[in-house]
Amino acid sequence: MLRAHSNLQVTVVGLAVVAVVGSLIWFGLPTASVPDNDEPVAIEPSNLEERVTAHVSGAVGDAGLVDLPAGSRIADAVAAAGGATAAADLGALNLAAAVRDGDHIVVPVRGAASAGGLTDDGKIDLNRATAQALQALPGVGPVLAQRIVDHRQVHGPFDSVEDLLDVAGIGEAKLASMRDAIASP
């Protein structure tokens, strides 16, 4: 009888070990707890929305500086400046053009000389001028004017007057003859 009692103890202990090992396998091993961290998370600058500031003047309701999200269009800038007045010539602007930080957007009055890409001082704005307005530059005809517009549409706005050297048909000599008639971008 002693032997039966001893076999029963071994069996019970064996079953207990199997149950514990089975539970660990089934439910997984206990893991160390992670302490709570109540410190605030710093926002990285890359997570913040980029902004651009432009000066909008001319035939708008509230001329002045406007702050816009990066990627905004001229139409957004005009709307942020109180919208166009009844006298505005919006057809003279490319309302779909992107606004760059520091841009000066002049909304012309219908019939005003600034339409078509001319600045207030009568110089050509490379980033706003129509192909027709670009033909006013010395040595620029319809074909070269269209190349300038096409280059601007494919590569984005000109950052400097020297960027015109990337347009087929414009070399150092032609650029020198045009330089005084071009407003700095």
CATH code where residue 124 lies: 1.10.150.320
Q: What pLDDT shows up at residue 123?
A: 83
C-alpha distances in Å from residue 134, one per residue of 7, 53, 57, 156: 105, 27, 22, 17
pLDDT band, residue 70 (cuts 50/70/90): very high
Over residues 108-156, the pLDDT tens digits come to 777 654 445 666 667 888 888 888 888 888 889 999 999 999 998 888 8
* Contacting residues for 158 by C-beta, under 8 A, at least 6 apart: 126, 127, 152, 164, 185
Report whether 52 contacts 65 (CB < 8 A): no
Domain membership flag for residue 81: yes
Domain hosting residue 87, numbered range: 48-115
* Pair (63, 92) in one structural domain: yes
Domain membership flag for residue 154: yes
Q: Report whether pLDDT(61) > 70.
A: yes
Over residues 84-102, the pLDDT tens digits come to 988 888 887 888 888 989 8
pTM, rounded to two decimals: 0.42
* Total Cβ atoms within 10 A of residue 32: 5
Domain termination residue (choose one: 86, 115, 144): 115
Q: Report how many domains make up the chain.
A: 2
Domain membership flag for residue 103: yes
* Pair (166, 101) in one structural domain: no
* Pair (60, 98) in one structural domain: yes
pLDDT band, residue 41 (cuts 50/70/90): low
Q: What pLDDT shows up at residue 147?
A: 94
